[in-house]
Amino acid sequence: MLAATYPFLEVFWTMLIFFAFVVWLWLLFTVFADVFRRRDASGWVKVLWCAFIIILPFLGVFVYIIAEHSGMTERTIERQQAAQAELDTYIKSVAGQGGDGGAAGEIAKAKQLMDTGSITQAEFDEIKRHALAH
């Protein structure tokens, strides 16, 4: 046997099998995740897809990918856009750009008011303390 005389081929074959197994697991988890995240399918449809994938794993996964490829893509894009929008909102709120300018914006406005004489140093200190408390 060629593999017995060339141990490198055995190592290469083992690595190839391991890689294929990891890819298979990734596909399986991706399909199951998509089945359970679908909002357009009833519970019975989800149960049927899961049963099909469990009974005939390779065929079930490949049929699901072929039948639902465009839906999977659309759902993935929607989830990514929603996650990006949520991240952007969080970053803006933390960075102080979420509407009122945050603590730094309040302090800057209060400093301008104090410079124009609209408020006193004590009022400025109170506004600053209040802004930094939030």
If you write DSSP's letter for every residue of 72-130 in order, what string do you get?
HHHHHHHHHHHHHHHHHHHHHHHHT-SSS-HHHHHHHHHHHHHHHTSS-HHHHHHHHHH
Break the chain into its structural domains and give their ranges. 2-95, 101-134
Per-residue pLDDT at 51: 95
Per-residue pLDDT at 95: 73
Per-residue pLDDT at 97: 53
Per-residue pLDDT at 99: 52
Amino acid at 55: I
Looking only at Cα atoms, what is the longest distance across the chain?
94
Q: Which of 7, 82, 97 has the alpha carbon at shortest distance from 37?
A: 82
Per-residue pLDDT at 94: 79
* Residue ranges for the chain with pLDDT beneath 70: 1-5, 96-101
List, for residues 81-97, the tens digit of each pLDDT value.
Answer: 999 999 988 888 877 55
